[in-house]
């Protein structure tokens, strides 16, 4: 049984390749780290898996099914900069959006939904901020909000894009504990992460990514110097160049 | 003043009045959505691109209905052009400028030809540029009431979807909400209300009604639902007051726009969180705090040596009058005794300031390696800024130093 699998997944932005021929499987109950340097296609992998970016080829399955059939079981937490924090929205309303998918079209949130949202706010320790406008919260608090919104959706798989960026040390520690707690409850959590500190005590499964998949597997088998060197080293630049050239040739953008 | 209420019931005036109020309310509510989506410029495109359609419609049919149909057609064509240009990689603001200039320019050209062909028609065309509210009748009330109701219902029914789609389109897509129907609905409401408003405020100023109430409403509201209500309300009040001005010979359309802009500017001025007045007040309070703390510090430093006002003035500087005033204030609040001397509370507050001053100097020298002769000016500023939390961090970082770099003792303050 796999939670998340990709086969021969390739994504281009224009003629620039971002992901090339990915094949991997993620088993349930792991805290999965998706590691790679900047521009390695980590965020794109999440977006392509969720149908936000159209892949050039390949397929992605969750629990063996296409994404459209398991929408509610997968929660996506984007990078913090992805939304407009000046938007007139309170913290509670923000979290409540986690319920919108399940409520269905044209139905207003009910009191029970609001109570549930408040409960999630309490779980992430932000009850007293419920009525504050979201832009007045700190980076760490905004990250907690994102998590609360994902929690309210009640998913089995979490895809988090760089949740540790721009948050204070306290929130960082809290977030690690919280994610581990979720995993112990049987959830699967995949975290896009770009630096190599804390990797060993955080994750139990790794995907090493630099446009192609360098390795995937349990922490102790994958987090070894040769593979990390391959992921972060300069050797993969050549691949990107050649695959990009191939695409430009095929589309007539280069002679 | 009784005129203001009469406007609503007078058989001749109630048409223009209610028409303007309703259309402005609808426009302002849609404007709030456009504002939070940061796409108010699309409204501008719609209103300006409607002009050639108005001219052609009037030329062909000679009736207002024809004008509106023409307006709708040319506005939609312009929207299509803009969509195509942005998909071709042109940035939205550039695409907008091009399309707007093309359509509005064509409209002006057509209108100038019409001027020679049919002067009466030309006058009619002009009314759509600047609006002609007084010509509205009771039928317009029904028409615009239907419009306002449509806008209200559409927003109320789809509020959840509109909110999510405007704030976080990615999440909306993940929830299976197609952005296409919402986009079409939004553009539809926008087009409908802008076209309806041409009669009341006119092509040139319709954008003001779209933006100004939203700006005003945003200053007092942190939630989209309340912002929508307030925006609509401000729009309606602007419409009402603008029309009232027309009783005194002022043009209604421009007055409606001017009043809504005035309300927006006033809101920016007095907004509770970040308005200009609030900020000026905060600045004044901070300046006063600095003066007070400098006085307390000077007296504390001098010990018993400070007895006269002249001595203190020498030390602190500034104007003598403001110094006297500050002393009065400090006495009243219990920091100073009747003469120039510190109360127990005053002495403690002064010690805290001196402590922060010297801690900051120690931090700059030991942690940042700043030259010892250069740290004083920065400390003069930061002594008023440091909070107890930062102070605690400094103490921890510097391991609770007892002396500053100038070897002056750092006062210990009991907690």
**pLDDT score recorded for residue B1:** 52
Domain A4-251 has CATH 3.40.50.300: yes
Which residue, B221, B78, A65, is CA-closest to B213? B221
ipTM above threshold 0.90: no
Alpha carbons B395 and B402: distance in angstroms, whole number: 10
Give the pTM. Answer: 0.84
**pLDDT score recorded for residue A200:** 83
Instruction: For chain A, report the end-to-end CA distance as a whole number of angstroms.
Output: 46
What band does A7 get if pLDDT is binned at 50, 70 and 90?
very high
Q: What is the pLDDT of residues A56-101, one digit of tens each?
A: 999 999 999 999 899 899 999 999 999 999 999 999 999 999 999 8
For residue B61 the two structure tokens come to: 């049919």
Q: Does B182 touch chain A (CB under 8 A)?
A: no
Q: Does B325 touch chain A (CB under 8 A)?
A: no
Q: Which residue is associated with the tokens 């553009």?
A: B187
**pLDDT score recorded for residue B393:** 86
Per CB-CB distance under 8 Å, the chain A contacts of B168 are 82-83, 97
Res A29 pLDDT > 60: yes
CATH architecture of structural domain B279-398 = Orthogonal Bundle (1.10)
Q: What is the pLDDT of residues A208-240, one digit of tens each?
A: 998 889 999 999 899 888 888 888 876 666 677
Per CB-CB distance under 8 Å, the chain A contacts of B176 are 68, 71, 101
**pLDDT score recorded for residue B2:** 61
**pLDDT score recorded for residue A192:** 95
**pLDDT score recorded for residue B10:** 85
Percent of the residues in chain A that have a pLDDT greater than 70, as a whole number: 97
Phi, psi of A27 (to 5 degrees): -80, 160
CB under 8 Å to B358, separation ≥6 — which residues? Answer: B379, B403, B404, B408, B410, B411
Res A112 pLDDT > 70: yes
**pLDDT score recorded for residue B211:** 94
Angle at A92 between CA A86 and CA A97, to 5 degrees: 85
The two beta strands, A205-210 and A212-218, are antiparallel
| CATH number for the domain whose boundaries are B2-273 | 1.10.3470.10
Residue B88 CB coordination number (10 Å): 8
**pLDDT score recorded for residue A64:** 93
Q: Please give the distance of CA A244 from its chain centroid, rounded to a whole number.
A: 25
Mutation for testing the A interface, residue in B156, B159, B160 having most A CBs under 10 Å: B160
Which residue, B254, B221, B193, B225, is CA-closest to B71? B193
Mutation for testing the A interface, residue in B36, B168, B226, B393 having most A CBs under 10 Å: B168
- State the average pLDDT over residues A28-55: 92
Q: Which residue is associated with the tokens 């509610």?
A: A72
Alpha carbons B314 and B97: distance in angstroms, whole number: 62
Mutation for testing the B interface, residue in A88, A92, A131, A142 having most B CBs under 10 Å: A88
Closest residue to A87, CB basis, from B36, B175, B177: B36
Q: Do B224 and A105 touch (CB under 8 A)?
A: no
- State the average pLDDT over residues A96-110: 89
- State the average pLDDT over residues A21-45: 92
Alpha carbons A81 and B66: distance in angstroms, whole number: 47
Res A247 pLDDT > 80: no
Angle at B65 between CA B59 and CA B71, to 5 degrees: 70
Weakest mean pLDDT among A30-34, A186-190, B404-408: B404-408
CB under 8 Å to B338, separation ≥6 — which residues? Answer: B331
Q: Do B227 and A88 touch (CB under 8 A)?
A: yes
Question: Which residue of chain B comes nearest to A134, CA vs CA?
Answer: B222
Q: Does A90 touch chain B (CB under 8 A)?
A: yes
Per CB-CB distance under 8 Å, the chain A contacts of B222 are 88-90, 132-133
Q: How many CA atoms lie within 13 A of B300 on its CB side?
A: 21
For residue B214 the two structure tokens come to: 């939203």
Q: Please give the distance of CA B193 from its chain centroid, rounded to a whole number.
A: 22
HEC per residue, B1-12: CHHHHHHHHCCC
Ranges in chain B, pLDDT < 70? 1-2, 415
Per CB-CB distance under 8 Å, the chain B contacts of A82 are 168, 170
């Amino acid at each position: 049984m796999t939670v998340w699998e990709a086969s021969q997944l390739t994504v281009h932005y224009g003629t620039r390749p971002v992901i090339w021929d990915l094949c991997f499987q993620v088993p349930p109950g792991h805290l999965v780290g998706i590691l790679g340097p900047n521009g390695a296609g980590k965020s794109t992998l999440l977006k392509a898996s969720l149908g936000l970016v159209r892949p050039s080829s390949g397929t992605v399955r969750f629990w063996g099914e296409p994404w459209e059939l398991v929408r509610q079981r997968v929660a996506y937490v984007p990078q913090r900069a992805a939304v407009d924090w000046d938007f007139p929205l309170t913290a509670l309303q923000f979290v409540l959006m986690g319920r919108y998918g399940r409520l269905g079209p044209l139905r207003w949130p009910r009191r029970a939904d609001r109570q549930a949202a408040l409960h999630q706010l309490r779980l992430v320790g932000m009850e007293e901020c419920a009525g504050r406008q979201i832009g007045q919260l700190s980076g760490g608090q905004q990250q907690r909000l994102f998590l609360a919104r994902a929690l309210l959706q009640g998913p089995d798989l979490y895809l988090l894009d760089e949740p540790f960026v721009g948050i204070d040390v306290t929130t960082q520690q809290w977030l690690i504990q919280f994610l581990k707690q979720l995993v112990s409850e049987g959830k699967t959590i995949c975290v896009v992460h770009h630096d190599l500190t804390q990797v060993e005590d955080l994750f139990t499964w790794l995907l090493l990514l630099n446009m192609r998949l360098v390795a995937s597997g349990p922490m102790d088998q994958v987090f070894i110097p040769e593979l990390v060197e391959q992921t972060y080293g300069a050797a993969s630049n050549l691949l990107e160049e050649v695959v990009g050239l191939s695409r430009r040739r095929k589309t007539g953008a280069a002679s | 003043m009784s005129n203001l209420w009469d406007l609503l019931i007078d058989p001749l005036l109630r048409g223009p009045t209610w028409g303007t109020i309703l259309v402005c309310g609808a426009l302002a509510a849609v404007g709030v959505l456009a504002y939070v989506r940061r796409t108010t410029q699309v409204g501008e495109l719609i209103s300006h691109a409607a002009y050639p359609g108005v001219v052609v419609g009037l030329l062909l049919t000679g009736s207002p209905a024809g004008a509106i149909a023409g307006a709708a057609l040319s506005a939609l064509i312009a929207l299509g052009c803009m969509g195509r240009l942005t998909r071709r990689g042109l940035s939205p603001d550039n695409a907008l400028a091009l399309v707007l200039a093309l359509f509005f320019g064509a409209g002006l050209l057509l209108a100038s030809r019409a001027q020679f062909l049919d002067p009466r028609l030309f006058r009619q065309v002009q009314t759509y540029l600047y609006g002609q509210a007084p010509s509205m009748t009771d039928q317009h009330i029904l028409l615009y009431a239907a419009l306002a109701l449509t806008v209200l219902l559409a927003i109320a029914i789809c509020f959840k979807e509109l909110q999510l789609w405007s704030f976080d389109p990615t999440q909306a897509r993940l929830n299976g909400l197609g952005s296409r129907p919402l986009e079409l609905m939004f553009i539809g409401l926008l087009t409908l209300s802008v076209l309806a408003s041409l009669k009341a405020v006119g092509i040139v100023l319709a954008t003001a009604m779209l933006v100004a109430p939203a700006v005003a409403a945003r200053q007092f509201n942190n939630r989209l639902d309340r912002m929508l209500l307030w925006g609509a309300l401000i729009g309606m009040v602007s419409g009402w007051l603008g029309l009232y001005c027309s009783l005194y010979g002022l043009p209604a359309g421009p007055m409606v726009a001017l009043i809504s802009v005035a309300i927006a500017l006033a809101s920016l001025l007095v907004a509770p969180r970040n308005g200009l007045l609030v900020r000026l007040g905060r600045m004044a309070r901070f300046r006063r705090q600095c003066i007070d703390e400098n006085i307390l510090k000077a007296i504390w430093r001098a010990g018993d040596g400070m007895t006269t006002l002249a001595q203190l003035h020498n030390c602190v500087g500034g104007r003598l009058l403001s110094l006297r005033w500050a002393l009065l204030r400090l006495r009243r609040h219990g920091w100073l005794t009747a003469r120039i001397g510190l109360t127990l509370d005053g002495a403690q507050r002064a010690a805290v300031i001196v402590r922060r001053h010297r801690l900051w100097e120690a931090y700059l020298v030991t942690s940042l390696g700043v030259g010892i002769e250069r740290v004083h000016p920065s400390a003069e500023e930061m002594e008023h800024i440091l909070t107890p939390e930062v102070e605690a961090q400094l103490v921890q970082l510097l391991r609770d130093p007892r002396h500053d770099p100038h070897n002056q003792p750092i006062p210990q303050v009991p907690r």
